[in-house]
Amino acid sequence: NAGVTQTPKFRVLKTGQSMTLLCAQDMNHEYMYWYRQDPGMGLRLIHYSVGEGTTAKGEVPDGYNVSRLKKQNFLLGLESAAPSQTSVYFCASSYPFQGDTQYFGPGTRLTVL
Amino acid sequence: KNEVEQSPQNLTAQEGEFITINCSYSVGISALHWLQQHPGGGIVSLFMLSSGKKKHGRLIATINIQEKHSSLHITASHPRDSAVYICAVTRGETSGSRLTFGEGTQLTVNP
């Protein structure tokens, strides 16, 4: 099992460019999450999904969109990148039990110039 | 004030020392998690607990629900334990098992 994978691992964008981060999991998890990690702030939830075809906003959703067309994939989109979106992005997934363990991907380091 | 507070923010120890990292939270929870983030960036879950105590190898996690406090202990610390340790909680009323994270504790164990 690959677990949770993220594509790409690194990316540099110019302000205003768009991109999509892909998260894939092979554990048949219902729940998937996108977080961003910034120095001194800890991990913060951007968007999450409790099942195929459903998405919901987290703490810091502005500037991002998500889609979950297939159970195993969760896409995070930046329509018009801004320097404030420079961060490390982590995807995670879990079973649909309250408080269950989350499994994290390796992260994507994004720099917006 | 953050809903999840960790202390200390940074901790340096000598190999073999007993280490304690603390986590306090201010909301009702259904579970508390301890995670480890290595210098390469990957995050792994160490423990998920809702009461009492759990042990895995040299790691011990405890939680006191009444005091809203948890501790992570490392016995006989080793340089390979050097990492960021993160406390997170699943709030009791939260849908989707969302986590709220502390800022992390950077642990450095010197040989």
Closest CA to A79 of A36, A16, A34, A22: A16
Under an 8 A CB cutoff, do A44 and B101 touch?
Answer: yes
Residue A74 contacts B, CB cutoff 8 Å? no
Residue whose token pair is 């720099």:
A111
**Alpha-carbon span A53 to A75, nearest angstrom:** 12
- Give me the amino acid identity at A22: L
B residues 15-34 near A, CB within 8 Å? 29-31, 33
**Each residue of A90-113: pLDDT tens digit?**
999 998 876 688 999 999 999 999
* Stronger pLDDT, B98 or A93, i.e. the higher one: A93
A10 to chain B, any CB pair closer than 8 A? The answer is no
Q: Is the dihedral of CA B45, B92, A35, A20 positive or negative?
A: positive
pLDDT value at B1 more than 70: no
| Contacts (Cβ under 8 Å, ≥6 apart) of A72 | A24, A25, A26, A28
CA distance A95 to B97: 9
Cβ of residue B63 closer than 8 Å to a chain A Cβ: no
H or E element at residue A47: strand A42-51
pLDDT digits 0-9 by tens, B2-16: 899 999 999 999 999
Alpha-carbon Rg for chain A, nearest whole angstrom, is: 13
B22: Cβ contacts below 8 Å, ≥ 6 apart: B6, B7, B69, B70, B71
pLDDT exceeds 70 at position B94: no
Of the partner residues A99, A101, A106, the one whose CB lies closest to the CB of residue B41: A106
**Over 70: is that where the pLDDT of B96 sits?**
no
